């Protein structure tokens, strides 16, 4: 009997322990279930965040890629545009150089043709035409040697024409054709105003003006000749003509001073004797 009670107590104890174990197991199961649910919720939240982050990353990646492509495209477009503009500028420069080269060739061909014509005038001795066409040939793109040669030829032609016209003027003056003489002297000055015979040309022109009744035109020519003692060949002649022109204009005091200058500077001149007579007459009359 005692043994049966002992066994019952053991069984009861085991049942109580089993029940406690079941309760603990149930509690652990519930706790595990709650943990699993919590983990599942966190996993879902993580997955949602991960999906969102992935989408955001994808969008950012796409935007960055498109931005990079846009920058690269713009850079390429700018490069192509710059290359196009540079090539356009090079083409325009080359076309301009070609036009300039063609123009130089045309100018040179024209210059050579005119130079040949000008040289024919030199060979033919057509001095007047040489002088007239010198400005045209001087504007052509010739070499310095060619320009110097033509300039020397024109200078010789000017001197020869001036001398020839001076001789014509003197010939007309000898036969007292004063207007023709004045025209010849004026033409001589036009061709070469500073030639070696320029003082003689000016003297002849002044004398022609005086005989044409134009002493006012003669005096401006004679005064520089009378004051310049460098050319002694015309100095006394200029004083002589100047004194007569002043007398014709009734500038008596000026005429007296001019006669005195002639007598003082050129006591041996062929005009000195007449100068003394004219000065004496002026002193008596004025």
pLDDT digit string (tens) for 232-266?
678 888 899 999 999 999 999 998 999 999 899 88
Mean pLDDT computed over 68-91: 85
pTM: 0.59
CA 186 from centroid of its chain's CA atoms: 39
Tens digit of each residue's pLDDT (9 = 90 or more) over 1-56: 566 667 777 777 777 777 777 788 878 787 777 777 778 777 777 777 766 777 77
The 3-state secondary structure of 128-148, one letter per residue: HHHHHHHHHHHCCCCCHHHHH
Alpha-carbon separation of residue 188 from 37, 169, 191, 197, 253 (angstroms) = 131, 9, 5, 10, 33
CA–CA separation, 59 and 54 (whole Å): 8
Task: Indicate if the pLDDT at residue 275 is higher than 80.
Answer: yes
Q: Are 233 and 200 in contact (CB under 8 A)?
A: yes
DSSP string, 167-221: HHHHHHHHTT-HHHHHHHHHHHHHH-TTSTTHHHHHHHHHHHHHHTT-HHHHHHH
Band (208; pLDDT cuts 50, 70, 90): very high
CA–CA separation, 165 and 167 (whole Å): 5
Tens digit of each residue's pLDDT (9 = 90 or more) over 98-142: 888 888 777 777 766 776 776 676 777 777 776 776 676 666 666
CA–CA separation, 93 and 254 (whole Å): 72
The sign of the torsion formed by the CA atoms of 98, 104, 110, 112 equals: negative
Task: Indicate if the pLDDT at residue 229 is higher than 60.
Answer: no
Q: Are 199 and 233 in contact (CB under 8 A)?
A: yes
Residues 6+ apart with CB under 8 A from 233: 199, 200
CA–CA separation, 109 and 115 (whole Å): 10
Radius of gyration of the chain from Cα atoms? 62
């Amino acid at each position: 009997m005692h043994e049966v009670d002992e066994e019952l107590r053991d069984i009861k104890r085991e049942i109580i322990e089993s029940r406690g174990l079941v309760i603990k197991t149930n509690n652990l199961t519930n706790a595990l279930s709650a943990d699993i649910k919590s983990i599942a919720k966190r996993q879902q939240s993580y997955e949602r965040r991960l999906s969102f982050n992935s989408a955001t990353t994808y969008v950012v990646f796409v935007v960055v890629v498109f931005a990079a492509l846009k920058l690269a495209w713009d850079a390429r477009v700018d490069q192509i545009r710059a290359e196009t503009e540079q090539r356009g500028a090079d083409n325009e420069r080359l076309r301009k150089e070609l036009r300039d080269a063609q123009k130089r060739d045309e100018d040179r061909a024209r210059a050579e043709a005119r130079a040949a014509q000008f040289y024919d005038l030199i060979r033919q001795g057509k001095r007047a035409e040489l002088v007239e066409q010198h400005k045209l040939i001087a504007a052509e793109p010739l070499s310095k040697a060619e320009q110097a040669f033509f300039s020397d030829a024109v200078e010789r032609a000017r001197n020869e024409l001036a001398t020839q016209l001076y001789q014509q003027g003197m010939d007309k003056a000898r036969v007292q054709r004063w207007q023709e003489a004045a025209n010849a002297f004026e033409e001589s000055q036009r061709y070469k105003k500073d030639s070696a015979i320029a003082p003689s040309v000016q003297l002849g022109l002044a004398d022609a003006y005086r005989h044409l009744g134009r002493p006012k035109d003669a005096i401006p020519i004679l005064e520089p000749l009378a004051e310049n003692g460098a050319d002694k060949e015309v100095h006394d002649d200029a004083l002589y003509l100047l004194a007569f022109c002043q007398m014709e204009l009734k500038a008596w005091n000026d005429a007296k001073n001019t006669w005195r200058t002639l007598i003082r500077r050129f006591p041996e001149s062929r005009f000195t004797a007449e100068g003394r007579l004219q000065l004496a007459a002026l002193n008596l009359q004025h």
